[in-house]
Structure 1
């Protein structure tokens, strides 16, 4: 279940990277940040839907 936590952190960092790239008008960086956001965001959502939220032991 650590996978969903790691995917979630990468997704959050991709959001910040996308916003910063757009602010700096770095469209090449924004393209890759959006790709990262799309892929890891999709993996995060699907992992949560399929396996549920991670539980603390």
Structure 2
């Protein structure tokens, strides 16, 4: 469960990075931060789901 919480915190930081990079119009960084947010968010949600319902 600790892994899921850490992954969720990383995903939240990636979402914040997306907004920060959108302000500076750095679209290459937006792409990588967005992809990281999606991947880390998916793994955190699925880890929590498996631990609760698996």
- Shared fold, TM over 0.5: yes
How many corresponding residue pairs? Answer: 52
For structure 1, list consecutive stretches of 5 or more residues without a partner in the other structure: 53-57
CA distance in 2: counterparts of 1:23 and 1:47, whole angstroms: 32
What is the correspondence of 1:31-42 to structure 2 with a 5 Å cutoff?
31-42=31-42
Over aligned residues, Cα RMSD in angstroms? 0.8
Q: TM-score, normalised by structure 1?
A: 0.85
For structure 2, list consecutive stretches of 5 or more residues without a partner in the other structure: none
Runs of 4+ in structure 1 deviating by more than 4 angstroms, as ranges, are none
Q: TM-score, normalised by structure 2?
A: 0.89
**How big is the shift at 1:24?**
0.8
